[in-house]
Structure 1
Amino acid sequence: MTKFAIVGCGHIAKKHAEAIDKAEGAELIAVCDTIPENMEYYIEKYGVEGYQSLTTLLEQDDLDVINICTPSGYHANIAIAAANAKKHVVVEKPIALTIEDTEAIIEACKSNNVKLSVVHPNRFRPAIMELNKVLTEGKTGTVSHANATVRWNRNQEYYDQAPWRGTKSLDGGVLMNQAIHNLDLLLWTMGDVEEVYSMAATRLRNIEAEDVSTGLVRFKNGALGVIEAATTIYPSNFEESLAIFGEKATIKIGGKTANYIQHWDVEGMDDESVNQIIEQVKADPFGKPGHQCIIEDMVQAIKEDREPIVTGEDGKKALQLVLALYKSADTQKAVKISDVSEREDN
């Protein structure tokens, strides 16, 4: 049994605890938070040990994996400490807020020979997996462009829940926080980015970071992309979508979250085959919870001594894209991914 601990007992930690509880071969044995009251739910529900000190937690010999669920700005220090203690690391998105911190996490895990996985669970959605299968098999032909859209609502009360929300140093805006999962899907399906051009604004929310962003992308393979992300949508979440346009296919995955096939037209696929895929996804649009997939993959990666499906480098690519969009919006110039280190005003 692979034994896990959660560091940071805020809202997202519940998803991790549920995932570990349901995952085959995983067991939650501890939680850690500087505020004792935050740990009470997990101690009572799962019968685990609670630690206020990260150092003390990492001294536990029977602990295999640390799941980091703190505000994003704290990820690096915790991940590096865990790696140095020879613990494997599962870190919530984004992997960190700067490339410097990200590379430090990756290097610490590599030098200590521990596994590193970043929580981008949307890759495991049934509709997304069907889309990626078509792309991998080359059935779309040459892709001309793709659209990634997140039109959600996060009202002022959401940002007022904690002083770190919406800050550049600990959280980021809609791109870094909400849309980064969608951007990971864009990268996973379309490949690496060469350059971006972006505009961003803080229109409705009283926060330091952006609440709306638009961007243009040129991929290394020559395809183009359009990104739109906002937390200003009235009155609630409207849609999240990913659309791919190729010479032999037009596919759109959408819904309030990108879980449903809204359009599927692939050359050579008959109506029966298309309807079968659509109905199969409709019958189980969420599939196995993505966090559970991440946990089970980490268990197997340790057993098989292989890289997790979502690696630290994957997390770095998603972060680089966000930072490039930020830099372009700040400078009002096109920005090459290779020129991105971190946001200039950090």
Structure 2
Amino acid sequence: MTIRFGLIGCGRVAPRHAQSIQQIHEASLVAVADIKPSRADHFSREYSAAAHYDHRDLLERQDIDAVSVCVPSGLHAQVVLDALEAGKHVLVEKPIALILADADRMIAAAQERGLTLGVVLQNRYNSPMQMLRLAIDEGLLGRLYLGNACVRWYRPQSYYEDDWHGTWAMDGGALMNQSIHHIDALQWFMGPVQTVSAYSATLAHQMEAEDVGVAVLRFASGALATVEGSTLTWPQNLEGSVSIFGEHGSVKVGGTALNRVTLWKVRGQLEQESEILTSQRVDPPSVYGYSHREVIRDFAAALLEGRSPGTPGPEARKSLALVLAIYQSASEGREVKLG
């Protein structure tokens, strides 16, 4: 049995979804939808799927079990709610939504209908990230003391000159759009965040939201972490990393998309560091990374096996709440408590 997918939104990230769906045995791509007919038609030809110009028409199809939602972030809530109302399981790109009320409506709607809501946080599935999470779970790093998330990426002004990137209503800035993967990783590795203090600015672009932000996080455990996220590191993407420092180990997963281990100093494994640095290194074609296929494979398997996917709605809500707290702190100039 395979999960029959519809794809809603044929923009920048959508090829990752379409290609991944077609590359795994557990899934097939039946139809695509986009409000721009030229894009829908292009995807239809490229991936041998039916084209629709309104997502509601796609949702009326009886030969679709689940939809992959790749529309602008500000449209996630309405499209996801429409899909759930139509009885479809949903996999939606990050962030789950732009406000917590929308995320809560989406989560509740899925639960009420007995449907699955998954969110694409693909870097959690990267081999170096899985290796670090396992090391933490097994206590190899001991008590965690300090973390760091660093996103030094570049986006030209042209990136923000469409009708949604960099706007508060549809996207957010460098923290919400680009850095959410790395912020998500900090709380995934280190646990619940208690307070945040942050600054943000718009320095290199003409846009509504920020192109640079920094934050200090205090975790419930007492550990601390710093966040740096930007889209102004001319002339190219320089780094997308997460570092974790603990009682018995220091680890950095870096590259441009959390795609390689660049530091592995763990008690009992010091002799293995060179081998780990060599083996845990994959160069992805872009900052989107290489794990969309694993997200979709897990989501399809979850539906077939009757279990929750690796990144369900409630889990993705955590990183949204954290980014929104960072925004609130930066806006109000004060420390913000979570939970």
Conserved 8 A contact 1:211-1:230? yes
Summarize deviations over 1:89-109 as a string: whole Å, max 9, x none. Answer: 000011100000000000111
State the TM-score, normalized to the length of structure 1: 0.94
Q: Secondary structure at the match of 2:253?
A: strand
Please give the alpha-carbon distance, in whole angstroms, between the structure 2 residues aligned to 1:46 and 1:257.
Answer: 26
Residue 274 of structure 1 is matched in structure 2 by 273
Alpha-carbon spacing, 1:164–1:270, altered in 2? closer, same or farther (3 Å)? closer
Residue 335 of structure 1 is matched in structure 2 by 336
Conserved 8 A contact 1:126-1:286? no
Please give the alpha-carbon distance, in whole angstroms, between the structure 1 residues aligned to 2:245 and 2:214.
Answer: 19
Summarize deviations over 1:273-323 as a string: whole Å, max 9, x none. Answer: 3333222213x4559931111111111111111110011012111110110
Aligned pairs, number: 335
Residue 245 of structure 2 is matched in structure 1 by 245
Conserved 8 A contact 2:40-2:53? no
Query: What are the equivalent positions in structure 2 for 1:254-333 lying under 5 Å apart?
Result: 254-271=254-271, 273-282=272-281, 284=282, 289-333=290-334
Please give the alpha-carbon distance, in whole angstroms, between the structure 2 residues aligned to 1:12 and 1:286.
Answer: 14
Structure 2 unaligned regions, length at least 5: none
Please give the alpha-carbon distance, in whole angstroms, between the structure 1 residues aligned to 2:77 and 2:99.
Answer: 9
**Amino acid across the alignment from 1:174:** A
Summarize deviations over 1:251-277 as a string: whole Å, max 9, x none. Answer: 111122221211111112241x33332
Q: Does 1:188 align with 2:218?
A: no
What is the aligned-residue RMSD (CA, Å)? 1.4
Please give the alpha-carbon distance, in whole angstroms, between the structure 2 residues aligned to 1:56 and 1:251.
Answer: 48
Conserved 8 A contact 1:127-1:261? yes
Conserved 8 A contact 1:125-1:285? no
Q: CA deviation at 1:60?
A: 1.0
Please give the alpha-carbon distance, in whole angstroms, between the structure 2 residues aligned to 1:256 and 1:54.
Answer: 33
Residue 225 of structure 2 is matched in structure 1 by 225
Summarize deviations over 1:17-58 as a string: whole Å, max 9, x none. Answer: 011011221000000111211112211122211112222211
Please give the alpha-carbon distance, in whole angstroms, between the structure 2 residues aligned to 1:90 and 1:311.
Answer: 9
**Amino acid across the alignment from 1:6:** L
Alpha-carbon spacing, 1:285–1:188, altered in 2? closer, same or farther (3 Å)? farther
Conserved 8 A contact 1:125-1:286? no
Residue 343 of structure 1 is matched in structure 2 by none
**Amino acid across the alignment from 2:279:** Q
Residue 197 of structure 2 is matched in structure 1 by 197
Please give the alpha-carbon distance, in whole angstroms, between the structure 1 residues aligned to 2:56 and 2:267.
Answer: 57
Residue 80 of structure 1 is matched in structure 2 by 81
Conserved 8 A contact 1:187-1:193? yes
Please give the alpha-carbon distance, in whole angstroms, between the structure 2 residues aligned to 1:270 and 1:210.
Answer: 40
Query: What are the equivalent positions in structure 2 for 1:109-120 lying under 5 Å apart?
Result: 109-120=110-121
**Amino acid across the alignment from 1:111:** E
Give me the identity figure in percent.
38
**Amino acid across the alignment from 1:251:** V
State the TM-score, normalized to the length of structure 2: 0.96
Please give the alpha-carbon distance, in whole angstroms, between the structure 2 residues aligned to 1:130 and 1:62.
Answer: 38
Conserved 8 A contact 1:127-1:285? no
Please give the alpha-carbon distance, in whole angstroms, between the structure 1 residues aligned to 2:52 and 2:274.
Answer: 51
Residue 206 of structure 2 is matched in structure 1 by 206
**Amino acid across the alignment from 2:66:** V
Residue 164 of structure 1 is matched in structure 2 by 164
Please give the alpha-carbon distance, in whole angstroms, between the structure 2 residues aligned to 1:137 and 1:181.
Answer: 23
Summarize deviations over 1:129-148 as a string: whole Å, max 9, x none. Answer: 11111101011111111000
Structure 1 unaligned regions, length at least 5: 339-346
